Structure 1
């Protein structure tokens, strides 16, 4: 759960606003309780609506485009995937001083998996590989470009800037020379030369729901689209221990170049995330620290 304002220009949202939006646009739900739901997410505020729904509202302007992306593509992806994904029940419009579109979804039960707390991580690795393989197999015309789908080199400047920022944060204990070496190795990996594939592109622990250690749902598809398959290898380092990581890789048949790019992408995200969110989003910062340790432990 965030502990303060995460972004410049973040929109204030509270239960009274959500209540007014629901009453004004979805009067059939006006009698249902509205309760804030703690989330480690960075783009949306979440409110439970009754027992069976959740309202998601972008916190910043940049998240508004994700709403229309999900409205268009989630219904088309759902029948092609082996796990539950969000089902849009209502498309809200700007009102009551709130400037962006927002959505009502069916509530999906489950808990977020935690790195280091999995009793059967190999089972989760197999489930994650099944989901990623299903995404890659989808062929739908007009697919958008995934948020993280482009060349790895496009992340170079921001990644190096984050490493230098972390050099000034000795309390974080990051081996900045070590992560720089891993990043440079990833940049040397050959780029993806096949057709772009469908990606979730944000497979963080907070976007996964499990029952026990079995994957039941994948949520938050705001970054989805087509691009480099390395973009959906994030769970290998942000969640899975080494043995399960290898199961995940083998199930997907990942070649060395794609694996190296995937490790580089996951590390880049962690390096950028840590200094940005370490004061405002403990969940994101914790995952970032775990990724950095996991990547460096691979040698």
Structure 2
């Protein structure tokens, strides 16, 4: 991964830099104080990430909170790991809020690998197989604690209605940059796709920045489980339009036995996310904007 200085992506973002992180680590975890510390390039909107030595990373929420979010994440990751076919993060330590950083933060185990890119896939078919196996394993999880995915959404039999207004707003804000008529038609087709109300465990954010692959192009780890939980199985179809070439999408779909309505809802969810991200980040985060633009193009190029 290429190392760079962190940048502001939210107006209310905390001031996070290397001296601050070094001080937090030195005071609260002196056993790691002497390890090298460098910021890690990330297009994410939730955490600043620093590499600590060769085996650890430090994650600090861009919008710090005094809630027990990090502790809940630690428990959730430990519970999920035995069920999944590839590595997922483990929280090695939880840092306490301070005057300089008023929120919990965490130290994770570092994973080697690189984020996949749709235009540089060493083994598209192998990656599709690995992703389908991960999604299938996730769907089969049976744990007594069943937190909702996308906790801000209400539990309804029309699970996409909650994001309808924000999606339409983003389409309007991108007028002149995309084919808004085609985007709206695609969105309305997905919005109308029925749901039987069946819910399964979903990661809910299988975007390239949350995946790591080997040099051979196979999936080695999945990151960022903040919004994972029980929800619409369509939530985990994102890789179809983010990464997979057209000639292997049907194989991914067949491996997961995805029906037409779920496929349409998946297409709508990934379109909605891409529209909102591009509208929000087009002037401040070019990397995220480029990915969003690619996804929108893939969705609108698909036959309806």
Residue 258 (structure 1) aligns with: 262
Counterpart of 1:49 (choices 52, 71, 76) is 52
Counterpart of 2:12 (choices 2, 6, 9) is 9
Q: Please state how far the C-alpha of 1:191 moved relative to its aligned partner.
A: 1.6
Counterpart mapping for 1:188-207 below 5 A: 188-194=192-198, 196-207=199-210
Residue 117 (structure 1) aligns with: 120
User: Which structure: greater helix fraction?
Assistant: 1
Counterpart mapping for 1:67-82 below 5 A: 67-82=70-85
Q: Please state how far the C-alpha of 1:2 moved relative to its aligned partner.
A: 9.1
1:20 pairs with 2:23? yes
Residue 296 (structure 1) aligns with: 300
TM-score, structure 1 normalization: 0.94
1:235 pairs with 2:239? yes
Counterpart of 1:133 (choices 133, 136, 157) is 136
Provide the C-alpha distance between the structure 1 equivalents of 2:124 and 2:67, rounded to a whole number of angstroms: 35
- The alignment of Structure 1 onto Structure 2 pairs a total of residues equal to 294
Q: Please state how far the C-alpha of 1:295 moved relative to its aligned partner.
A: 0.7
Residue 214 (structure 1) aligns with: 218
- Contact 2:83 / 2:137 at 8 angstroms: preserved in 1? yes
Counterpart of 1:152 (choices 146, 160, 167) is 160
Counterpart of 1:283 (choices 281, 287, 296) is 287
1:271 pairs with 2:279? no
Q: CA RMSD in A?
A: 1.7
Residue deviations 1:70-102, cap 9 Å, x none? 211001111110001001111111014201111
Provide the C-alpha distance between the structure 2 equivalents of 1:63 and 1:55, rounded to a whole number of angstroms: 17
